[in-house]
């Protein structure tokens, strides 16, 4: 399965001469190109190194789902050079579990609330909830610049593209882009910091790839530690000051439970590294606003 993801993400699989995502469905008449399959000479199988179990903090668990407090730096699944992601780790730790599937995804460097379904019916119900916009998804982000609006709605279309080096990116594009909606709420502003910085809550109304990051950069407020769309010189200064990764944390997810339909709210506090950086900002500067 990891190999399949790898050749899809690297562009070796093409449909109608175009790169495709893993969720693309084939239609009658599509032209499919796949790379040659090379099989090694049969060998006596030796003991395979299992996924190394790690402690995954559990925020909530019941018969239908598991809510995990995903740490930064851990991919949610294998592929693209990663043998074992979070879901593989979870399956290795629970060999008797009959069904464990990711409900949604978080970027490797994003921390916070991540849902895993324990039943197919729960997975389908949760997918429907996300698709219909019934799930309330909130992120905490630190950006460069003084954010002045208490609340700001952003509606900008996004499209995926490949850089000259073959790396996948997302950009604003009105012609053919998919509409992405984000609402930003001001939490705190350190106007006397150099440069000024702001802590925002991002409320997602769609779930496009890199949506928050691209919207913020387009608005002129690059996300702290973003190595794809951010301010690279600022990122280096942040790293020297102790912020070693992207400041993007999925702190809250509220939705109806897939089985009994009662409201379910899941919250993850800022992880220690991000909380410590905010504390350093407080120690050096005076925050202008807090909600």
**Is 107 in the active site?**
yes
- At residue 287, the pLDDT reads 72
Cα–Cα distances (Å) from 119 to 88, 98, 166, 258, in that order, read 17, 8, 37, 10
Establish if 47 belongs to a structural domain. no
Largest Cα separation within the chain, whole Å, is: 66
- At residue 164, the pLDDT reads 81
Which residue in the list 23, 69, 96, 107 is annotated as catalytic? Answer: 107
- At residue 45, the pLDDT reads 46
| CATH label of the domain that carries residue 9 | 3.30.2350.10
- At residue 3, the pLDDT reads 65
* CB count in 10 Å sphere of residue 72: 21
Q: Reply yes or no: is the peptide bond before residue 195 cis, omega within 30 of 0.
A: yes
- At residue 288, the pLDDT reads 75
Establish if 234 belongs to a structural domain. yes
The angle at the Cα of 143, spanning 202 to 290, to the nearest 5 degrees, equals 65
H or E, element range at 113: strand 111-117
Establish if 7 belongs to a structural domain. yes
Residue ranges in the chain whose pLDDT is less than 50: 42-43, 45-48, 291
Number of folded domains that form the chain: 1
Establish if 38 belongs to a structural domain. no
Establish if 39 belongs to a structural domain. no
pTM over 0.85: no
Establish if 173 belongs to a structural domain. yes
Give the neighbor-by-neighbor strand order of the sheet with 18-19: 18-19, 14-15, 32-33
Domain holding 204, by residue range, is 2-26+53-284
Establish if 40 belongs to a structural domain. no
């Amino acid at each position: 399965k990891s190999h399949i993801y790898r050749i899809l993400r690297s562009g070796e699989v093409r449909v109608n001469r175009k790169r495709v995502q893993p969720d693309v469905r084939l239609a009658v008449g599509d032209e499919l190109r796949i790379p040659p399959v090379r099989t090694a000479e049969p060998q006596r199988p030796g003991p395979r190194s299992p996924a190394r179990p790690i402690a995954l903090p559990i925020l909530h668990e019941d018969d239908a789902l598991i809510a995990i407090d995903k740490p930064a730096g851990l991919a949610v699944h294998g592929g693209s050079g990663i043998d074992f992601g979070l879901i593989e780790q979870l399956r290795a730790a629970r060999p008797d579990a009959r069904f464990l599937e990711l409900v949604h995804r978080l970027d490797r460097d994003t921390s916070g609330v991540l849902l895993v379904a324990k039943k197919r019916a729960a997975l389908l119900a949760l997918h429907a909830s996300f698709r219909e916009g019934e799930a309330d998804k909130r992120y905490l982000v630190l950006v460069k610049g003084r954010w002045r609006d208490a609340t700001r709605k952003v509606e900008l279309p996004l499209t995926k593209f490949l850089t000259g080096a073959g790396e996948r990116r997302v950009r604003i594009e009105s012609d053919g882009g998919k509409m992405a909606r984000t609402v930003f709420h001001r939490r705190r502003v350190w106007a006397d910091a150099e440069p000024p910085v702001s802590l925002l809550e991002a409320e997602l109304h769609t779930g496009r790839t890199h949506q928050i990051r691209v919207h913020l950069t387009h608005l002129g407020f690059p996300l702290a530690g973003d190595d794809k769309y951010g301010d690279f010189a600022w990122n280096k200064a942040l790293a020297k000051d102790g912020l070693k990764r992207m400041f993007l944390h999925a702190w809250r997810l509220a939705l109806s439970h897939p089985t009994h339909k009662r409201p379910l709210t899941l919250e993850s506090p800022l992880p220690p590294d991000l909380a410590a950086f905010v504390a350093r900002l407080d120690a050096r500067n005076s925050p202008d606003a807090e909600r």
